[in-house]
């Protein structure tokens, strides 16, 4: 690796930790004003350390005490870094960009007034057959395309909604700006306008008995085409416990958020939540969803989950906060000792339940509260420890670079934020800042993993519209999955050596869906974290 200065290409919060990395050894560094070329700050580099995850020997630069807002470069000898800013709100634009990334993934026509060059015609409007009963077709139009393809998944949509709705509930001051979507200016925050897109689709996936269909996907994925040109037969797959429980939770949460904004919509959501719970009670024997063997692996789009405790925990926590019913409280107390309690991803959603219970308004059981506090404390302390050991301050072990590693950087940050709100440990927030630094450029690849942001960013995501639209630049505001030692696509299997360092198992190429595919829940988790960090200037 050539010696270079590696940093957050967007910038740093003025009153928070500010670090960069030099891939090599040197004694000192200077911060140079980008306009005047004056030296504004000088500091010493820490001694070199070996970063096991990347195989790099690096030196850390810490300029946390330099708080003057402006645009700068870091200079070491004759070497100069990419530009960056120090600001009270450096993440305002990337936060809006990540939120608008969801708009670009809507399964609908994108108006040129709002989507610009990335506009396209209406798509996937036909009725879709049930996989188990093709003679019956239903309307599942709308919602968000889940990732690089055109599938739509109930669990993924619910998780995305969980991130967004709680981001708004916990720090609404961060979501006052308009993002330039068709609903902007209607008197409702755009983050909630976007949530409504997902919620209305999720209600279409619910049947009269309350159960929720698991997903809508192809049998075999098409070649890269624009969404309006996709006439591949999609299917609606059977109702599942996972989808119904997650939708139940999302509906209950959303009913509370929308209560003072649109009471009629709130009531519909509440009814949908109760109906989903009734289906779960009428179907008590858990059956993990399994994709039929006739569906191509790369079209399946989700995972096998043999543990239902986390989904059920999220559902009962949201229902308890909504209703105050002790039946739900009793179930929370039963489940809290057998769930992770700090997960905010598709496979592990119990962190949302923790959030609902610990930050809700209903009375809490002391033992359950202590158990969930301990879960968060252990998680946060472990992440802080990993960050301290990493040459890049990344809160990952060498084994944590799996598919979706960037998503985990963001969802782990959510756990750190909640732990900070409970325990007040400043090291947790420093660790959150470092994970955002990682996503935005301070990583072994030296790349900003969000399309359209930073000086060196992802150019070739595994994202069909970005590949098929004949526009050189990809759709902006998409957070890709990131490095993964678990190579699961043909390109990475042939091109990433078995001995490659985990943090460098990444290719910015459209063929690598393992490492370079964006997802809606990557974006929503990053919106949560960026929204929180954007709120720190109001706090501090």
DSSP states along 17-42: --EEEESS--SEEEEEETTT--EEEE
Looking at the fold, whether 181 and 283 belong to one and the same domain comes out as: yes
The CATH number of residue 47's host domain is 2.60.40.10
Task: State the Cα–Cα distance between residues 327 and 169, nearest whole angstrom.
Answer: 25
For residues 217 and 365, state if they share a domain: yes
Structure tokens at 421: 């709100």
List per-residue pLDDT tens for the chain, 540 residues long: 456 999 999 999 999 999 999 998 899 999 999 999 999 999 999 999 999 999 999 999 999 999 999 999 999 999 999 999 999 999 999 999 999 999 999 999 999 999 999 999 999 999 999 999 999 999 999 999 999 999 999 999 999 999 999 999 999 999 999 999 999 999 999 999 999 999 999 999 999 999 999 999 988 887 899 999 999 999 999 999 999 999 999 999 999 999 999 999 999 999 999 999 999 999 999 999 998 887 766 666 777 899 999 999 999 999 999 999 999 999 999 999 999 999 999 999 999 999 999 999 999 999 999 999 999 999 999 999 999 999 999 999 999 999 999 999 999 999 999 999 999 999 999 999 999 999 999 999 999 999 999 999 999 999 999 999 999 999 999 999 999 998 788 888 889 898 999 999 999 999 999 999 999 999 999 999 999 999 997 554
pLDDT at 297: 61
The pLDDT value recorded for residue 303 is 79
Q: Based on the fold, state whether residues 160 and 75 are members of the same structural domain.
A: no
Do 104 and 165 share a domain, yes or no? yes
Going by C-beta distance under 8 Å and a sequence separation of 6 or more, which residues neighbour residue 90?
10, 11, 12, 13
Looking at the fold, whether 35 and 140 belong to one and the same domain comes out as no
DSSP state of 450: B
Q: Who's near 539: CB < 8 A, 6+ residues apart?
A: none
Structural domain ending residue among the three candidates 45, 62, 90: 90
Structural domain contains residue 456 = no
Do 198 and 101 lie in a common domain? yes
Residue 363 and residue 429 share a domain: yes
Cite the DSSP H helix spans in 359-512. 366-389, 405-423, 426-439, 464-468, 490-495
| Burial classification of residue 200, based on how many CB atoms lie within 10 Å of its CB (0-12 exposed, 13-18 middle, 19 or more buried) | middle
Domain count, the chain: 2
The pLDDT of residue 479: 98
Q: What CATH number did the domain enclosing 308 receive?
A: 1.50.10.10
Same domain as 279, residue 155: yes
Range of the domain at 422: 92-445+516-539
- Whole-angstrom distance, CA of residue 489 vs CA of residue 481: 13
What pLDDT does residue 270 have?
98
pLDDT value, residue 299: 62
Within a domain: residue 470? Answer: no
Find tokens 């072994």 and name the residue.
444
Residue 467, CA atoms < 13 Å, CB-side half-sphere: 21
Q: Does the residue 204 lie in any domain?
A: yes
Scored b (16 or more CB within 10 A) or e, 169-198 reads ebbeebbebebebbbeeeeebbbbbbbbbb
Cβ 191 vs Cβ 184: under 8 Å = no
Give pLDDT, residue 156.
97
Taking Cα atoms as reference points, which of 527, 535, 424, 537 lies closest to residue 166? Answer: 527
Buried b (16+ CB within 10 A) or exposed e, 344-365: bbbbbbbbbbbbbbbebebebe
Judgement on whether residues 234 and 380 belong to the same structural domain of the protein: yes
Spatial neighbors of 494 by CB under 8 A, at least 6 apart, are none
* Whether residue 149 sits in one domain with residue 86: no
For 459, half-sphere exposure in the C-beta direction (CA atoms, 13 angstrom radius) is 3
Secondary structure class of 424 (helix, strand, coil): coil
Extract the tokens encoding 24: 């090599």
Q: Is residue 467 included in any domain, yes or no?
A: no
462 belongs to a structural domain: no
Residues 527, 4 contacting (CB under 8 angstroms): no
Report yes or no on 441 lying in a domain.
yes
Q: For position 1, what pLDDT does the model report?
A: 43
**H helical segments located in 440-495:** 464-468, 490-495
Positive or negative CA dihedral for 89, 94, 95, 100?
positive
Looking at the fold, whether 38 and 112 belong to one and the same domain comes out as no
Cα(469)–Cα(227) distance, rounded to whole angstroms? 10
Instruction: Identify the bridge partners of residue 21 per DSSP, sorted by sequence position.
Output: 6, 60
Identify whether residues 61 and 127 lie together within a single domain. Answer: no
Torsion region of 417: left, alpha or beta (phi above 0 gives left; psi -120 to 50 gives alpha): alpha
4 alpha carbon, distance to own chain's centre: 29
Report the SS3 class of residue 74: strand
Alpha carbon separation from 331 to 70, 277, 319, 335 (Å, rounded): 52, 13, 11, 6
461 inside domain: no
The residue out of 90, 113, 134 marking a domain boundary is: 90
Is 397 a member of any domain? yes
> Which residues does residue 73 pair with via DSSP β-bridges, in sequence order?
32
CB 25 within 8 Å of CB 48: yes
* Boundary residue ending a domain (63, 90, 117): 90
**Sign, Cα dihedral of 222, 228, 231, 234:** positive
Q: Output the pLDDT for position 291.
A: 87
Query: Beta strand pairing status for 19-22 and 56-62?
Result: antiparallel
Structure tokens at 92: 């305002």
- Global pTM value: 0.97
């Amino acid at each position: 690796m050539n010696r270079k200065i590696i940093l957050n290409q967007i910038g740093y919060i003025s009153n928070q930790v500010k670090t960069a990395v030099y891939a090599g050894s040197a004694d000192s560094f200077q911060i140079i004003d980008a306009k005047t070329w004056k030296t504004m700050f000088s500091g010493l580099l820490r001694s070199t350390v070996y970063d096991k995850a990347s195989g790099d020997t690096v030196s850390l630069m810490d300029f946390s005490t330099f708080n003057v807002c402006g645009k700068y470069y870091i200079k070491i000898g004759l070497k100069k870094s990419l530009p960056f800013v120090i600001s009270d709100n450096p993440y305002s634009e990337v936060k809006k960009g990540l939120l608008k990334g969801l708009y670009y993934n809507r399964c609908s026509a994108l108006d040129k007034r709002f989507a610009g060059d990335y506009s396209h015609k209406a798509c996937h409007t036909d009725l879709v057959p049930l996989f188990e009963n093709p003679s019956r077709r239903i309307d599942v139009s709308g919602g968000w395309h889940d990732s690089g393809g055109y599938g739509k998944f109930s669990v993924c949509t619910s998780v995305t909604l969980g991130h967004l709705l709680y981001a708004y509930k916990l720090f609404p001051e961060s979501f006052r700006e308009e993002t330039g979507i068709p609903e902007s200016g209607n008197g409702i925050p755009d983050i909630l306008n976007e949530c409504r897109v997902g919620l209305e689709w999720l209600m279409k996936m619910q049947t009269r008995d309350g159960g929720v269909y698991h997903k809508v996907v192809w049998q075999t994925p098409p070649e890269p085409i624009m969404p309006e040109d996709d006439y591949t037969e999609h299917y609606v797959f059977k109702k599942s416990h996972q989808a119904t429980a997650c939708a139940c939770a999302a509906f209950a949460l959303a009913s509370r958020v929308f209560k003072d904004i649109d009471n009629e919509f709130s009531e519909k959501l509440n009814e949908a939540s109760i109906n989903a719970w009734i289906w779960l009670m009428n179907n008590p024997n858990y059956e993990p969803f399994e994709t039929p063997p006739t569906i191509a692996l790369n079209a399946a789009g989700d995972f096998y989950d043999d543990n239902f405790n986390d989904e059920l925990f999220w559902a009962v926590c949201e229902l308890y906060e909504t209703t105050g019913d002790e039946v739900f409280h009793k179930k929370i107390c039963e489940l809290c000792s057998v769930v992770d309690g700090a997960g905010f991803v598709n496979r592990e959603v119990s962190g949302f339940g923790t959030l609902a219970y610990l930050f809700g308004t209903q009375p809490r059981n002391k033992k359950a509260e202590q158990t969930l506090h301990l879960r968060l404390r252990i998680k946060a302390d472990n992440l802080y420890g990993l960050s301290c050991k990493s040459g890049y301050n990344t809160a990952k072990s060498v084994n944590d670079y799996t598919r979706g590693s960037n998503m985990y950087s963001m969802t782990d940050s959510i756990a750190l934020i909640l732990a900070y709100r409970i325990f007040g440990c400043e090291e947790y927030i420093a660790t959150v800042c470092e994970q955002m630094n990682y996503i935005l450029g301070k990583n072994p690849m030296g790349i900003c993993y969000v399309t359209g942001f930073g000086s060196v960013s992802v150019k070739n995501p595994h994202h069909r519209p970005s590949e098929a639209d004949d526009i050189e630049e990809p759709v902006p505001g998409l957070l890709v999955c990131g490095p993964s030692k678990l190579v699961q696509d043909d390109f990475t299997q042939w091109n990433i050596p078995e001995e490659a360092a985990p943090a460098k198992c990444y290719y910015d190429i459209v063929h690598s869906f393992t490492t370079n595919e964006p997802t809606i829940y990557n974006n929503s988790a990053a919106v949560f974290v960026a929204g929180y960090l954007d709120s720190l200037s109001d706090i501090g």
